[in-house]
Each structure stands twice: as C-alpha cells, then as structure tokens.
Amino acid sequence: MTKPFKTLDDMGDITGKCVLVREDLNVPMQDHAVSDDTRLRAAAPTILELADRGAKVLILAHFGRPKGQKSPETSLSLVTRALTHVLGRDVQFIPECVGEGAAAGIAVMQPGDIAILENTRFHLGEEKNDPALVAGMAALGDLYVNDAFSAAHRAHASTEGLAHKLPAFAGRSMEKELDALEAALGNPQKPVAAVVGGAKVSTKLDVLNNLVTQVDHLIIGGGMANTFLHARGVDVGKSLCEKDLAETAEAIFAKAEAAGCTIHLPYDVVVAKEFAANPPSVRTCNVHEVAADEMILDVGPAAVEALGDALKNCRTLVWNGPLGAFEIPPFDAATVALARTAAALTKEGSLVSVAGGGDTVAALNHAGVAGDFTFVSTAGGAFLEWMEGKELPGVKALIG
C-alpha cells in the first residue's frame, strides 16, 4: 500500500547532502544527566540510516521551555553525550540552529557526520512558526526529515514550517507511529474497541466524542466511568465524579447509540473508604451497592472478564487511560488483567492493539505487557489529539 507521505525510502542518493532532521530530544534530566533515554533510542534508527547513507545529519529539536531565552539548563549540549552513547557514534554539537554560527559548524562536517544544533526554542520564532526563522533554518539544509511525531501537534518552525520549504520526508520513528495509528483508527479491521480510562471526563471529552463515531465498542473505565454511572442514576458515593457533566455524558450516550457504538460501563466495582494501598475497607460490589462513604477505585473482576470476552470478538483495540487507580494496589487489578488479555490476543494474531498516554504506558509496563502490544505510543499530547480526530499540523505538512 502506498503511503500518503514520503519516507527515507523516497530520498534517493543523499551522499554529501545536508539533511535537517527534527527529532524529539526532550528527555527528562536528573542531576545534569539524562534519566530516561527512550526518546533517544527512538531517534536512533533515522539518524544512523541517514549517516550510513552519507548525509550530513543536522538534528533539530527543542529542549524544555526556554521561551526564546538562551540558558545553559536548556542547552541541547546537555544531551550530546547521551545521544553519542545511544548511537555508538560521535555526535557534534553546534551552538546555534540558524545563521552564520550554525553554517560555520556545518561547513566543516564530512558526509556521515552527525550534529545536534542548539535548542530551536532559543528563538521566539520557533513557536510562532516565524517565516524568517523557517527560511534561516531551511538555508542550512538540502532536505528535511520529520521524525518527531510527539511534537507534530504543534505548528512550529521546525515541526511544520520547514516541511513547506524543503523536500520533506517522514523519519522511521514517525513512519512507524503513523502506520500504527492508521491501522488502529484510520483504516482499521473491524470490529474496533476503544478503552478510555483515567481520572476525568473533562480532560477527554473530545476523545470520547470522536471515538463513539469511530469504534464499535467503547469501554469506559477509571474515574470517568463514575461520571457516566452518575448520569445514569447510580449513586457513586464519595467517588471522583464530575456531576456537572451529567448532560454531557447523556449526549455522548445518545451520539453512541446513533452511531451504533456500544458503551461498556462497569457493573461491578472495587471500592474503599480511603485511597491507600490495600486498605482494610476494600471490597468488591455491584455498582448499585456503593455506600455513601465509599469510593470506586477500580473496575470489578466480573466486568473485566466480560470486557476480555468482548475483546476476543474484536480485531482492533485502541487504549488510552487506566481502568482504575493503578498506582496503588489492589486497584491495578482490572487494568493489569485487561492489558494481559489484550496482549495475549495480540500475540495470537487476532488483535491489533495500539495504546498511548503517559499513565497508560506506565500501567502497561507495570502489567509487563507493553512489548506485546502492536504499538505503544509515548507521544502524549500528540497521541491524544490524534485520538480526538484532529489533524496534526506536522503530519499534515508531510502529507502536503
């Protein structure tokens, strides 16, 4: 199947060419060292492939929120050593991302060399997608590769503007992410199920509204299920619940019904009187039996089993948000059980499973199954906007 965007396969001979590559190098730091190099490892295949094909690889990225102010704490020089380590290659650092300073550093590079250019957000024009900054950066390169899906929901100079100025290609990491998202919601095998959990309905209204028109089964868990249960007249006691969103929840029920989407809410739940690890008050009950001083903290075992059975009849799953307060035992049980079912179905080959979201990734790691899903996105905001059905500017610019 031809892709709606160009990839590294379409670049032709790039020997000696200057390739500007937008990567996500926004890694967490602790004591001046990179504390999690996941993003660097995701960037590696594209960087190494371009270098091996003889390009001069010029990496563009943002780091932190310097808001146009240069500062040593947000200099990408702090990431150079960690990237060198991940790539197993020398990585140079060029202390500018535009202008003569950058050009001078690039001029001495040889084919196959790799350099990180300084933080794009040291320039206010980055977040404003300022044409002058775009033109200045474009002047440094012959070709542009966007490999940072996680930054593609922003129309910034290095994520969007450059794609209109230079021949533009998706990097390997971007390509993998777009392929997975296409398989999950763009053109999925049906039936499609979505799990949406997490704390609050208000943060995922757009996600819910989009999904009811896209999927056959919408499984609602987490704190947000309480808001839907409350809207249906269930007394949820002391649970986290956005009572003012009852009408909104009703509108989502109606939209789902019109679209032929089945909404699944828990019919048994795990409750406790306090939010603590293994509290003495923990018990499992029917949703209609929650006492006034109890909180719903997880989906119950009977409901989870039924959800697992529903997944067995589905071909595609997209998952964002844990089913319960998974950070604290035993309220991780439902998330872990359903994640393991989804992982097993994926391994059997009957399910395409795509998940994303900060806490979701943590929960799947906790369940030990992140590696068994078809694809797990670490993109955060960009993943959520994609689940909301929004067009991501950085992706749109690649599609042309």
Just list the catalytic residues: 39, 200, 358, 381
Does residue 242 belong to the site contacting ligand ADP (CB under 6 A)? no
Sign of CA dihedral 219, 386, 34, 30: negative
- CB of 68 or CB of 368, closer to ligand ADP: 368
- Report how far residue 347's alpha carbon sits from residue 388's, in angstroms, rounded to the nearest whole number: 28
Count CB atoms within 10 A of the CB of residue 391. 10
Does residue 161 belong to the site contacting ligand ADP (CB under 6 A)? no
* Smallest gap from residue 211 Cβ to Mg ion (A): 17
Which of Mg ion, ligand ADP, none interacts with 296 (beta carbon under 5 to 8 A by kind)? Answer: ligand ADP
Candidates 14-22, 29-37, 326-334, 351-359: pick the segment binding Mg ion (CB under 5 A).
351-359
**Residue 24 contacts residue 63 (beta carbons within 8 Å):** no
Question: Given candidates 96, 294, 359, 372, which one binds Mg ion under the rule CB under 5 A?
Answer: 359
**Residue 62 contacts residue 158 (beta carbons within 8 Å):** yes
Does residue 320 belong to the site contacting ligand ADP (CB under 6 A)? yes
Does residue 364 belong to the site contacting ligand ADP (CB under 6 A)? no
Count CB atoms within 10 A of the CB of residue 206. 14
Residue 26, classed as helix, strand or coil, is coil
Candidates 119-127, 131-139, 162-170, 358-366: pick the segment binding Mg ion (CB under 5 A).
358-366
Does residue 358 belong to the site contacting ligand ADP (CB under 6 A)? yes
Does residue 380 belong to the site contacting Mg ion (CB under 5 A)? no
- Report how far residue 136's alpha carbon sits from residue 222's, in angstroms, rounded to the nearest whole number: 47
Does residue 195 belong to the site contacting ligand ADP (CB under 6 A)? no
Question: Given candidates 322, 330, 393, 394, which one binds ligand ADP under the rule CB under 6 A?
Answer: 322
Tokens encoding 203? 């943060």
**Residue 85 contacts residue 102 (beta carbons within 8 Å):** no
Question: Given candidates 198, 266, 393, 394, which one binds ligand ADP under the rule CB under 6 A?
Answer: 198
Q: 111: cis peptide before it, omega within 30°?
A: no
* Smallest gap from residue 274 Cβ to ligand ADP (A): 13
Tokens encoding 354? 């795509």
* Smallest gap from residue 22 Cβ to ligand ADP (A): 24
Which of Mg ion, ligand ADP, none interacts with 320 (beta carbon under 5 to 8 A by kind)? Answer: ligand ADP
Question: At 355, which amino acid appears?
Answer: A
* Smallest gap from residue 239 Cβ to ligand ADP (A): 6
Phi, psi dihedral angles at 373 (to 5 degrees): -75, 155
Does residue 171 belong to the site contacting ligand ADP (CB under 6 A)? no
Question: At 369, which amino acid appears?
Answer: V
Which of Mg ion, ligand ADP, none interacts with 246 (beta carbon under 5 to 8 A by kind)? Answer: none
Q: b/e per residue, 87-118, with b = 16+ CB within 10 A?
A: bebebbbbbbbbeeebeebbeebeebbbbbbb
Phi, psi dihedral angles at 284 (to 5 degrees): -105, 135
* Smallest gap from residue 272 Cβ to ligand ADP (A): 10
End-to-end CA distance of the chain: 18
Residues that bind Mg ion (CB under 5 A): 358-359
Residues that bind ligand ADP (CB under 6 A): 197-199, 222-223, 240, 296-297, 320-322, 324-325, 327, 357-360
